[in-house]
Amino acid sequence: MRHYRPLVEQLERRELLAFNLTISLAASAGVNSSTNTATDTVTFTAVANGANLSIASINAALAAKNSVVISSGSTGSQAGNISTSGFTAQVLNNLDGESLTIQTGSGTGLVGDINLSGLRLAKSGTLEIQADRSVALSNVFFADKMTIIAAGGSISMPSGGELRGKELALTAHDTIGAGGLALHTSVESLTTDSSAGNGTQILSEANALGALNLNAGTGEIHLDVSAGA
């Protein structure tokens, strides 16, 4: 009797990663859009290398009475970072109550950094920035309500700028403000949390604060306030 040994072939390993995504004035490419009519939300998702989302596409979705979600997706072979390019400041033509969410995707090997410049909502609304690692911002950002999350890293403004609005919430695993450079804000209500990694906070607030809630765990907090408390 002959005995046969079964042959076991190793399957090809495929890791699912996100795509890098650029937000610019150029035409959109490598991005899919989907609309949830129940929530009036348009989601733009990166689906190819060299993915680019145009400011015109974002404004068109906002003008059609939708909130907008931007994601670097869950497929691909890149780090899933999101950045702006080709402008230092851009006003987004939202209607009252609409929101803009910019979030990194998911997948094995995801880095998930977000690097943005000068996004401003034209009318009352919410701006949410959600990075799996770090957030780096430059120039002036404006929204009535802003939420910025750096789940695995820091929030910084290495080239300067200011976060302006009514309510601002900052959450980071590591530092808020980095390299000795303060994060400049001008808001009525400021909430921060870097307790997950006991990260240092360096903040400079220009407005008359009506509400303040800061938590750095065992980390240090350095806050300069021009007016209010």
Report yes or no: 157 and 181 within 8 Å, Cβ to Cβ. Answer: yes
Q: Does pLDDT of 5 surpass 50?
A: yes
Residue carrying structure tokens 């006991």: 198
- Nearest CA among 126, 146, 220 for reference residue 188: 146
pTM for this model (two decimals): 0.91
pLDDT digits (tens, 9 = 90+) for 30-54: 999 999 999 999 999 999 999 999 9
How distant, in Å, are the alpha carbons of 13, 150, 168 from that of 175?
A: 36, 9, 16
Residue carrying structure tokens 């997948």: 107
Distance of CA 113 to the CA centre of its chain: 8
- Quickly state the pLDDT bin for 208 (edges 50, 70, 90): confident
Helix (H) or strand (E) holding 45: strand 41-46
Q: Does pLDDT of 29 surpass 80?
A: yes
Report yes or no: 112 and 133 within 8 Å, Cβ to Cβ. Answer: yes
pLDDT of residue 180: 80
- Quickly state the pLDDT bin for 107 (edges 50, 70, 90): confident
- Give the span between the Cα atoms of 106 and 79, in whole angstroms: 10
Q: Does pLDDT of 228 surpass 80?
A: no
Q: Does pLDDT of 124 surpass 60?
A: yes
Question: Which is it for strands 201-209 and 183-186: parallel, antiparallel or unpaired?
Answer: parallel
Question: Which is it for strands 135-142 and 155-156: parallel, antiparallel or unpaired?
Answer: parallel
- Nearest CA among 209, 199, 220, 134 for reference residue 168: 209
- Give the span between the Cα atoms of 145 and 121, in whole angstroms: 10
Q: Does pLDDT of 59 surpass 60?
A: yes
- Quickly state the pLDDT bin for 11 (edges 50, 70, 90): very low
Q: Which of 43-47, 126-130, 222-226 has the least mean pLDDT? A: 222-226
Higher pLDDT, 203 or 180: 203
pLDDT of residue 1: 55
How distant, in Å, are the alpha carbons of 13, 189, 200 from that of 206?
A: 52, 12, 20
pLDDT of residue 219: 97
Distance of CA 76 to the CA centre of its chain: 20
Q: Which of 14-18, 46-50, 182-186 has the least mean pLDDT? A: 14-18
pLDDT of residue 2: 57
Residues 6+ apart with CB under 8 A from 141: 116, 118, 119, 120, 127, 161, 162, 163, 164, 165
- Quickly state the pLDDT bin for 63 (edges 50, 70, 90): very high
Q: Compute the C-alpha angle 178/158/129, nearest 5°.
A: 85
